[in-house]
Amino acid sequence: MKNTCLSYILYAFASPFSVAAADYTNIVLINLDDAGYGDFSCYGAQGYTTPNIDQLCADGVRFTHFLAGQPVSGASRAGLLTGCYPNRIGITGAPGPGANFGIHEDEMTLGELVKQKNYATAVFGKWHLGDDQPFLPLQNGFDEYYGIPYSNDMWPFHPQQGETFNFPDLPTIEGNQITGYNTDQSEFTTDFTDRSVRFIRQNKDKPFLLYLAHPMPHVPLAVSDKFKGKSEQGLFGDVMMEIDWSVGQIRATLRELGLEENTLIILTSDNGPWINYGNHAGSTAGLREAKGTTFDGGNRVPCIMYWKGVTQPGSVCNKLASNIDIFPTVAAITGTTLPEHTIDGINIIALIKGDQSAVPRESFVYYYGRNDLEAVTDGQFKLVFPHDYVSYGIFAPGKDGKPGKVRMNQLQQAELYDLRRDPGERYNVIAQYPEVTSRLMQLADQYREDLGDNLTRTKGTGLREPGLIKGKTRKDL
């Protein structure tokens, strides 16, 4: 499997679609929390509009088959920032307060990648790769950090606090120092946007990587007064309108400073919506299930990329891609060197440039839990293996921030879906396509040899350890 990944990377660097030599290209990566596939109006959202995001879509390329590395926040962000399947690097689930694992010091993050070319780097918003100081951004390739170390619901005001959870106060961190607790979340989107704008202005004459990781629209929802009550979709719509405003502020700043021609903007989400929160949750646009499952409602997310003069205005990419592909793509664009260890991402610059014949990613494996291989796809067909999962198909939707009920379900036998005809994964066609099933089974076995699979009790050799802190105790940062 390692040789296969390497061959893809070599192909990408040798392709005629490599980026032409230039002084440098800035990277602006905007990663939302729990925004679903249908939560931008250019993807079909209703009850509110996202005009700035729609304009980004009109100017750039909209991806329709873009997958998060896993359907849960911490793991997905680990994949995004390292180019690896999250299970390969030991980051599973959503590490909470005081978790004794995080990003390992031997992993290379996006920040460390572009530091090879002396980029200024910053993270504003949600981190979620471990909350102890060795795991925080300043120790992992970033010059600036202001935000929260994990999800915004991991605090004493969680609706199930005391019944299911016992969260401590939620810290706000600047650099490595806690500056406050339980900060007013209605100011998050504005504050992180203002910090981002200031960072761009301060670094307008040199290369920079900005990672704006909005905690919204993850619950609890909060919005500033300037957008409160503005949408027909209640608080959720208000939050999305403020996120759209944020995207507009970033673009306006880049235009004002004459930086659009040498800046790649990427807008995506860490996973699908948390739909048992009902009117406080987003939309999967008809995809099956949601966050916390490896059906496409959990993994398939919106993604728009814009690079003036490079992306074709109003283009659509239906090819398979993933957030783990951003890492090697940025390496190709910035002329930096990939780490010596195995990564799973593939350079997708050809897709960004609109090459309709390019197929850089030929498969994707849906790992979840500790190391469960739950599905595999070749882009058209998806083979789903027997596994337990949280079912959102029949649930009592929550209202006004209170979670609705879900139930555990079980897939008893392997099922095959034709995603071109059935993106909602509702019609099992495994009996009609035995050759496809066999081919995908073989592909899954290759990954089991590499990464293992707890569902079948096979152990791979390619897994790396998380950054464990042995016997650690909680202390002020």
- Residue 473 lies inside a defined structural domain of this protein: no
Task: Clarify whether residues 261 and 409 are in a common domain.
Answer: no
* Percentage with pLDDT > 90 across the chain: 88
Task: Clarify whether residues 240 and 223 are in a common domain.
Answer: yes
pTM of the model: 0.94
Task: Clarify whether residues 291 and 174 are in a common domain.
Answer: yes
Q: What residue numbers bound the domain in which 446 lies?
A: 365-451
What is the spatial order of strands in the sheet that 372-377 belongs to? 364-368, 372-377, 381-384, 415-418
Residue 208 — pLDDT band, cuts 50, 70, 90?
Answer: very high
- Residue 476 lies inside a defined structural domain of this protein: no
Residue 302 has pLDDT above 70, yes or no: yes
- pLDDT (mean) for 195-219: 98
- pLDDT (mean) for 345-371: 97
Domain end residue (candidates: 309, 342, 361): 361
- Residue 470 lies inside a defined structural domain of this protein: no
Helices then strands (H, E): number in the chain?
Answer: 10, 17
Residue 2 has pLDDT above 60, yes or no: no
Q: Residues 6 or more apart from 429 whose CB is under 8 A from it? A: 416, 417, 418, 422
Residue 8: predicted pLDDT: 39
Q: For the chain, what is the domain count?
A: 2
- Residue 457 lies inside a defined structural domain of this protein: no
Distance CA 68, CA 422 (A): 20
Over residues 392-435, the pLDDT tens digits come to 866 778 899 999 888 899 999 999 999 999 999 999 999 999 99
Task: Clarify whether residues 349 and 401 are in a common domain.
Answer: no
**What rounded mean pLDDT belongs to the chain?**
93
CATH value at residue 443: 3.30.1120.10
Angle separating helix axes 73-82 and 326-334, nearest 10 degrees: 30
Domain end residue (candidates: 314, 329, 361): 361
Residue 14 has pLDDT above 50, yes or no: no
Residue 132 — pLDDT band, cuts 50, 70, 90?
Answer: very high
Residue 473: predicted pLDDT: 53
- pLDDT (mean) for 268-294: 96
Cβ proximity of 37 and 285 under 8 Å? yes
Say how many C-beta atoms besides its own lie within 10 A of residue 211's C-beta.
Answer: 27
Task: Clarify whether residues 370 and 354 are in a common domain.
Answer: no
Task: Clarify whether residues 331 and 398 are in a common domain.
Answer: no
- Residue 252 lies inside a defined structural domain of this protein: yes
Over residues 49-96, the pLDDT tens digits come to 999 999 999 999 999 999 999 999 999 999 999 999 999 999 999 999
Task: Clarify whether residues 309 and 407 are in a common domain.
Answer: no
Of 92-106, 254-268, 391-405, 458-472, minimum mean pLDDT range:
391-405
